[in-house]
Amino acid sequence: MATSMTTDEPPSSQSSGKPRSGEKNWLEKLFGAFSAEPKSRDELLDIIKDAADNKLVDAEALSIIEGALDVSSQQVREIMIPRSQMVVVSLQDTPEEFLPKIIESGHSRFPVIGESIDDIRGILLAKDLLPLILKGLEGFELESIIRPANIIPESKRLNILLREFRENRYHMAVVIDEYGGVSGVVTIEDILEEIVGEIEDETDEEEADSFIRKVGDNDFIVKALTPIEEFNEYFESELSDEEFDTVGGLIMQSFGHLPSRDEVTDLGHFRFRVLYADNRQIHLLRVSRQRRQPREEE
């Protein structure tokens, strides 16, 4: 009579089809990595930062990704250049009046205003002034070369504005508040800098040394904010810095009033001509050395 044989050996994981505990933990992590989706911006950033920690994304790429995510949640009012810092050109200005302002600022685009800063007439591109070199200034009308201004609200999202900049191929927008007054301006560069960080060009590198610029044998363009100490060092002069820190302060004292364009004053061995001043302060000066008169022999 045949007898049946039994075994006390437990079934293997292969025969039961169930993974061991170690395998289960590993599989859960594997499937979790593919199935879990971030439920918030913070969770998404955590995933990206983990990738950076594991050297899958470098630090610069991580910074750009974080900047791009920030832009999607920011509004224009957070990064715009406020109206108090806007460099504008008046429609009534002559080239002799607005060119020094353009040269001093180093910008490429300028809002053009009418009766006040809230009366935006258009945008002036510095490159559109280049034909003046060939044609001359006779009969020039600023209104004939300005371009339409793009007006946007303070609440506009930066990611939306960036898309509009790209699609419509413009680089500057004028920002207005809820009452229709001008709040400031914003450029495509302002948004890009929020993503990739500060963007510097060749003019930025020279900014620290741009207080004084030689334009002729005895002809210099000097910013009114030039420290007197730096002016003295450049010209080997001895203008007093006891009462004022900047050249503009000294010149204002010399005039005894807020000067207008083309007013001239002599100080020390220098002649100062005002190139650009507004209703609050002097901005730009043209400076030349005065020849010293020989002393008469006693």
Q: Do residue 87 and residue 69 come from a single domain? A: no
Q: Does residue 33 belong to any structural domain of this protein?
A: no
**For the chain, how many structural domains are there in total?**
3
Q: What number of residues does the chain have?
A: 298
Q: Does residue 9 belong to any structural domain of this protein?
A: no
pLDDT above 50 (res 283): yes
* Full domain range(s) for residue 128: 77-199
Q: Return the CATH number at 194.
A: 3.10.580.10
**C-alpha atoms less than 13 angstroms from C-alpha of 52 in its C-beta half-sphere:** 15
N-term to C-term CA, the chain: 153
Express each pLDDT in 100-140 by its tens digit: 888 877 788 999 999 999 999 999 998 888 877 677 666 67
Rounded to whole angstroms, the Cα distance separating 221 from 272 reads 10
Express each pLDDT in 176-215 by its tens digit: 998 899 999 999 998 988 887 766 554 444 444 578 888 7
Q: Do residue 68 and residue 155 come from a single domain? A: no
Q: pTM of the prediction?
A: 0.57
Q: Does residue 7 belong to any structural domain of this protein?
A: no
pLDDT above 60 (res 13): no
Contacts of 285 (CB under 8 A, 6+ apart): 221, 222, 223, 224, 247, 248, 251, 272, 273, 274, 275
Q: Does residue 25 belong to any structural domain of this protein?
A: no
Q: Do residue 212 and residue 241 come from a single domain? A: yes
Rounded to whole angstroms, the Cα distance separating 108 from 174 reads 15
Q: Do residue 161 and residue 223 come from a single domain? A: no
Torsion of CA 40, 58, 157, 198, to 10 degrees: 150
Q: Do residue 275 and residue 220 come from a single domain? A: yes
Q: Does residue 226 belong to any structural domain of this protein?
A: yes
Contacts of 180 (CB under 8 A, 6+ apart): 118
Distance of CA 87 to the CA centre of its chain: 13
Of 164, 186, 237, which Cα lies nearest the Cα of 250?
237
